[in-house]
A and B are shown apart, each in its own frame.
Chain A
Amino acid sequence: MATSLRAGARQAAGGQKRRSRGRGARRPNWLAGVVGWLWLLIVLLPIYWIVITSFKTQSNYFQTNPLAPPTAPTLENYQVVIEADFARYFINSVIVALGAIVPAVLVSFMAAYAIVRAGDQWLLRSANSLFLMGLAIPLQAAIIPVYLIIIRLHLYDTLLAIILPSIAFAIPLSVLVLSNFIRDVPKELFDSMRVDGASEWVTLWHLAFPLTRPALVTVSIYNGLAIWNGFLLPLILIQSPEQRTLPLALWAFQGQYSVNVPAVLASVVLTTLPILILYVIGRRQLLSGLTAGFSK
């Protein structure tokens, strides 16, 4: 709801802007223009190269101009990648992503609601400060004790080993964004729920949850992308090949097939495809999700 409102406002602003641009158009902003088009080239060139090369045969790759499209496109590289068990890694990544995002967003939502509703209650106020401080904890710095804890819990080399720390490190930012959002819900709505005799749990699910939906989507996207692309946790906590997630599998595949450039690039294309599809479907939501709390 809020996103469509925002989009509407943006369009209105756009109309205004276009008019004033008309006047300024006599002196085009050439510096930004040059930088803009140049950067486009820098962004697109590697992407173009990845895609065309992934359809070339290995021998064809060495013989032809690397920037020319393949003369006889082939899917054999993709076959190599799929035969290297990438379907399993894909499923692992999906399990880790869903297994971490859903609980992370749910517990963050409940915590955010409690923090906003509690006001001055000391315990929840200090919980809030703890989460805020948590924003400054880099995963890298905590990785050694995380490794120790995972070993002691006998979770080493399981997907749960990636999921649990992923949830923990997703919580601080999620609580921050969600509590900012819940704070904007008019107080009268909560009061009227209380007058009707609703408990906090009922208010949480029947009032706050539907109203917070846009922020929940935002937070899920932000965490989802970070977890989907995460590399350090699987690198340290996973040993056996069949437990790999996509980034780890990508790295291992590259180490094994480094001479077969087309196959390596096919693996890059294949692992990026799911997110690219999401980008095509919901670009606006994905982009606003990416900047989570930062672009306020």
Chain B
Amino acid sequence: MVAPPAAPGTRRATSRGRRSGSLIWMALPALLVFVAFAVVPLLGVLFLSFTSWDGIGVIRPAGFDSWRSVLADPGLPHALWVTFVVIALSWAVQTPLSILLGVFLAGHQRYREFLAVLFFIPLLLSSVAIAITYKALLDPNFGLGAGLHIPLLTQDWLGQARLAMGVIIFVVSWQFIPFHTLIYQGAVRQIPRSMYEAAQLDGAGRVRMFFRITLPQLKYTIITSSTLMVVGSLVFFDLIFVLTEGGPGDATRNLALDMYKRGFQANLMGQASAIAVILVLVGLALALLLRRIGGGSSSTSQLEGV
């Protein structure tokens, strides 16, 4: 359908003005709520990092005090290191497995469709439910290992620094591999069949096809999935909080837990806000880095989905 012949200029201008007026009204509620409860807090956290506040009483300006104590505290490099280890290990475990499983589940065989139904169940559980389950499962006295009388499984899983970190990486993978598998499954199904058929005519084997066709075709999906993983594991809180509360000692105390403990347990909101600012800065740096690695503008539209 074609627009009618141009209406007189003035009338059109006023009606357009009225239209964009009502459009602004439509966007206003979302804008207000978003500014009040997301943008203002983000700016507020920077402001609060220059104050001293115990969470209940009066907020007092404190200059750089919080920053000085946070930056001088050896807890900060440790928390940064733990955060980095969680990001790196959970990425390294999840990415190859998710790609393999995504390729596997992209097949349309009946049994694979059935397996997919079961595979995605962890997506439905809350982090708290998952953490509670594994806490009970791995308990050295009441858990699965003790019940089966298998010494190898009957360790103090959450009581030793390295084991606790391993458990966290495992549980994180258990929770999130299904999500990334789902993304890869969709992406693999979109690869044109003709590419494989052509390669097959050339006598290419399955491994070769995987590395020459599947993996390159998944490039942007890998970037999207990796960005979600990295940005997500940067702020892991629920799972670690319920599993170990940052312990044993501070072996699994990442930035998000460090912020929570300083703010809501030690009542040092100024210092906790400084940690939150660092969290935002690290997040921005990582997102920019991943965008750089992804290279080119064609990936921006997908990265914006983060």
Contact = CB atoms under 8 A, between A and B. Distances in A.
B242 interface: yes
Interface in B199-244: 200, 205-206, 221, 224-225, 228, 231, 234-235, 237-238, 241-242
B157 interface: no
Contacts, number: 321
- How many interface residues does chain B have, given as a range? 35 or more
Interface string A251-266: 1001000110100110
B121 A140 contact: no
B182 interface: yes
B45 interface: yes
Interface stretch (B27-35, B74-82, B158-166): B27-35
A97 B227 CA distance: 27
A118 B23 contact: yes
A96 interface: no
Given A36-B101, A200-B23, A264-B132, A134 B305 contact: no
B137 A46 contact: yes
Nearest to A249: B128
A217 interface: no
Interface of B: 1-4, 19-20, 22-24, 26-27, 29-31, 33-42, 44-45, 48, 55, 59, 97, 100-101, 103-105, 107-109, 112, 115, 117-129, 132-137, 139, 142, 144, 147-148, 174, 177-179, 182-183, 186-187, 189, 193, 196-197, 200, 205-206, 221, 224-225, 228, 231, 234-235, 237-238, 241-242, 256, 259, 263-264, 269, 272-273, 276-277, 279-280, 283-284, 287, 302, 304-306
Interface of A: 10, 13-14, 16-18, 20-21, 23-24, 27, 29, 31-33, 35-36, 39-40, 42-44, 46-47, 49-50, 61-62, 64-67, 107-108, 110-111, 113-115, 117-118, 121, 123-124, 127, 130-132, 134-149, 164-165, 167-169, 171-173, 175-176, 188, 191-192, 194-195, 199-201, 204, 225, 228-229, 231-232, 235-236, 246-248, 250-251, 254, 258-259, 261, 264-265, 268, 271-272, 275-276, 279, 283, 287, 290-296
